[in-house]
Amino acid sequence: MASSQRLQGIFTPNMVPLDNRGNINEEELRKYTDWLIERGVHGLYPNGSTGEFLRFTPEERRRIIEIMVDQTRGRVPVLAGAAEANTRETIKACEYYHGLGARAVAIVAPFYYKLSPASVYAYFKEIGDNTPIDVTLYNIPLFASPIDVPTVQRLAEECPKVVAIKDSSGDIPHMIRMIKAVRPNRPEFSFLTGWDAALMPLLLIGCDGGTNATSGVVPEVTRKLYDLTIAGKLDEALKVQYDLVTLFDTMIYSAEFPEGFRAAAEIRGFRMGTGRQPLSEGQQRDLSALRNTLQCLLAEHGFASEPLGGCPVKGDEKFDSKEVSAIVQNVLAELKRRGLGN
């Protein structure tokens, strides 16, 4: 894949199926990779936040990329999450993924320690100057040190290998400010959003695409939203965007991230295994209930059969949506409590 081609479209931040001993389930991961490509996603993005990169060892992270690049066989570009313990280890990972044939890497800003813009700049500058492979900056202020607009602008100007930013803040004026600051000097720089709930409006104000967790569950829908928006069919797009918000909210706010997405992928037919973050008994019960809700949501769009007990008829829906609303608000409160929230 030519390095000069701009990153565009929907990249799936894919999850990793585990076997019953908790190890990477290679067979299922290959099957899942094929399934995503066949359903039309423009690219794959392993070792992202949805992919729980942090819960794998450095060796496992490499193995995930090996499997997926091999299985993809160049059909779509692979954007490999490459953040490791420090810049030296991260640059080594960049070299390794370059050798494997990944299209680019994505590197999240430093986390745990909350770094100043100067440190975030110095971190990416050292990587950008020493990487053999194109780099996508990954801004997710919910989880990591924020990458602010002047830092993005400066890195774009100084590092030709920095070719894109994935921004998961969902903040539209922030995206406008970044595009205004970067595009005049780097017209081929790519802007991707990680916030599914605002995908359509973000595409309309200038984004090139998204790395959207919903595309790991309903690739058909995320792709359709992208296509309708790009084609200017805004009425149809808006309807899909509204539906996607319901699904996204249900998956992201009804369980510890990314358990809701893992549960939905199970419903789509993949054996995801038990996640690496232990769940309390209460959480396991909640997850069971969520599976039912998700199956009904997916059944409504023909992506699954109804669960055995059936689904609420449309008239009951209002209650459900109120419940989801309440959950969303509570979880937003929880996120804020932990010093977060966009």
Interface of this chain with a copy of itself, residues 184 to 213, rule: CB under 8 A: 184, 195, 197-198, 200-202, 204-206
Q: Which stretch binds a copy of itself (CB under 8 A): 51-59, 66-74, 159-167, 300-308?
A: 51-59
Q: Which is nearer to a copy of itself, 6 or 336 (CB)?
A: 336
Q: Which stretch binds a copy of itself (CB under 8 A): 96-104, 174-182, 209-217, 307-315?
A: 174-182
What gap in Å lies between CA 170 and CA 193, rounded to an integer? Answer: 7
Interface of this chain with a copy of itself, residues 214 to 233, rule: CB under 8 A: 232
Q: Which stretch binds a copy of itself (CB under 8 A): 9-17, 213-221, 240-248, 302-310?
A: 240-248
> Using the 8-state DSSP alphabet, how is residue 107 labeled?
E
Does residue 73 belong to the site contacting a copy of itself (CB under 8 A)? Answer: no
H/E stretch holding 87 reads helix 87-100
Q: Which of 100, 176, 230, 311 binds a copy of itself (CB under 8 A)?
A: 176
Helix 87-100 to helix 58-72 angle (10° resolution) is: 20
Residue 144 β-bridge partners: 111
- Strand, helix or coil at 255? coil
Q: Which is nearer to a copy of itself, 38 or 316 (CB)?
A: 316
CB atoms closer than 10 angstroms to residue 109: 22
> Using the 8-state DSSP alphabet, how is residue 142 labeled?
T
Interface of this chain with a copy of itself, residues 52 to 71, rule: CB under 8 A: 54-58
Q: Which is nearer to a copy of itself, 1 or 333 (CB)?
A: 333
Binding-residue pattern over the window 291 to 330 for a copy of itself, x denoting contact by CB under 8 A? ---------------------------x--xx--xx-xx-
Q: Which is nearer to a copy of itself, 22 or 312 (CB)?
A: 22
Interface of this chain with a copy of itself, residues 102 to 141, rule: CB under 8 A: 110-119, 121-123, 125-126, 141
- Least separation in angstroms between residue 126's CB and a copy of itself is 5
- Least separation in angstroms between residue 148's CB and a copy of itself is 5
Contact between residue 208 and residue 163 where contact means Cβ atoms under 8 Å apart: no
Does residue 288 belong to the site contacting a copy of itself (CB under 8 A)? Answer: no
- Least separation in angstroms between residue 184's CB and a copy of itself is 8
Let me know the angle formed at the C-alpha of 160 by 131 and 155, rounded to the nearest 5 degrees: 90
Q: Which stretch binds a copy of itself (CB under 8 A): 71-79, 165-173, 266-274, 302-310?
A: 165-173
Interface of this chain with a copy of itself, residues 80 to 99, rule: CB under 8 A: 85-89
* DSSP string for 297-330: HHHHTTSSPPPTT----GGGHHHHHHHHHHHHHH
Contact between residue 270 and residue 17 where contact means Cβ atoms under 8 Å apart: yes
What is Dmax (Cα atoms) for the chain? 59
The size of the interface with a copy of itself (CB under 8 A), counted in residues, is 90
Residue 107 β-bridge partners: 137
Contact between residue 79 and residue 211 where contact means Cβ atoms under 8 Å apart: yes
Does residue 241 belong to the site contacting a copy of itself (CB under 8 A)? Answer: yes
Contact between residue 92 and residue 65 where contact means Cβ atoms under 8 Å apart: no
Let me know the angle formed at the C-alpha of 269 by 268 and 270, rounded to the nearest 5 degrees: 110
Contact between residue 242 and residue 36 where contact means Cβ atoms under 8 Å apart: no
Binding-residue pattern over the window 265 to 284 for a copy of itself, x denoting contact by CB under 8 A? -----------xxxxx-xx-
